Amino acid sequence: MKKKILVTGGAGYIGSHVIKALGEKGYEILIYDNLSTGYKELVLYGELVIGDIADITVFDRVIEDFKPDAVMHFAASIQVHESVLNPLKYYRNNTINTLNLVELLLKKKIRHFIFSSTAAVYGTPESTEPVSELSLLKPINPYGASKMAVEYMLKDLSPVEKDFNYISLRYFNVAGADQEGRIGQKYHEATHLITRCLKAAKAEISRLEIYGTDYSTPDGTCIRDYIHVDDIAEAHIVALEYLFKKSINDIFNCGYGHGYSVREVVKTAKEVTGVDFPVEEAGRRAGDPPYLVADNTKIREELGWKPKHDDLSYIVKTAWNWEKKL
């Protein structure tokens, strides 16, 4: 029989690409999403149920009816700058709602859980070396702190609930789109650098702003590890299949192990689009570390994850092909 996977937030950007990967693998999928930042048309496989995880009574009934073998949890608020301005929203949606979800899974005796975490838990690394899963956790914004709180909760739970197993995946900067252009990033107000570059190239925004040019990096702008969304999706498949085989509780970085500065991304976006869009330098943005790059040794060696799209031009090209369709 096909394994049944329940995916919260599966109509969103990353969730929809994971749904695509699950569908292509033949899993039976139920998507639970309130469509606050997701879209029906991004769901290529499975059944979509519109609902909010905060409505625990409805969610309880959905789980009872579907009886999943595993749950993947993407439903969360993810904008760093917004989290600084509205921290309670992030603790409520990301931390409290996840706690309630996990309690429900324990009640229903659902053993396998994949949690969508973030590199924001690392805050500002003390060196310019890639951060490993053992690096100090010191988030500098409520978004990262809300995700870190869930990781601590899961860690503390694991010795007590021995039949409950989880993998937490810490994403670095996810970008790009489905190679065939079927799905991609579709936020109401895009804040991701690559997407904003492309919207500037389309003249949907008047200019691209670079937030901070005086960081202690080679060109003064922030450096990030950009990973293609299809490689993130494949990491979830690898993690899920590993979790079905082995009872573990663990955390893995999802990144390529090297980074690009904001200026390098802008340069690549201009080359891919062929548009010399306007760029304006602005002051630093609250909650931005200067350097954040993954040490991905653990996920490669322990889970056997093999990324296929480690190419900034390819990432931007797939995002551009999708953006032109919107």
Q: For residue 135, how many other CB atoms are within 10 A of its CB? A: 17
Cα separation of 17 and 160, whole Å? Answer: 33
- 81-107: b (≥16 Cβ within 10 Å) or e: ebbbeeeeebbebbbebbeebbebbbe
Q: For residue 160, how many other CB atoms are within 10 A of its CB? A: 8
The answer to whether residues 176 and 309 touch, using CB atoms and an 8 Å cutoff, is yes
Cα separation of 101 and 89, whole Å? Answer: 17
The residue type of 20 is K
Tell me which residue has tokens 């901070």: 212
Helical spans, DSSP H, in the chain = 13-25, 56-66, 80-85, 87-90, 97-107, 142-157, 193-201, 229-245, 262-273, 297-303, 312-323
* Structure tokens that stand for 149 in this block: 């709180």
Catalytic one of 13, 32, 143, 166? 143
Q: How far is CA 14 from the centre of its chain?
A: 6
What is the phi/psi pair of residue 15, to 5°? -55, -40
143 in active site: yes
Catalytic residues: 143
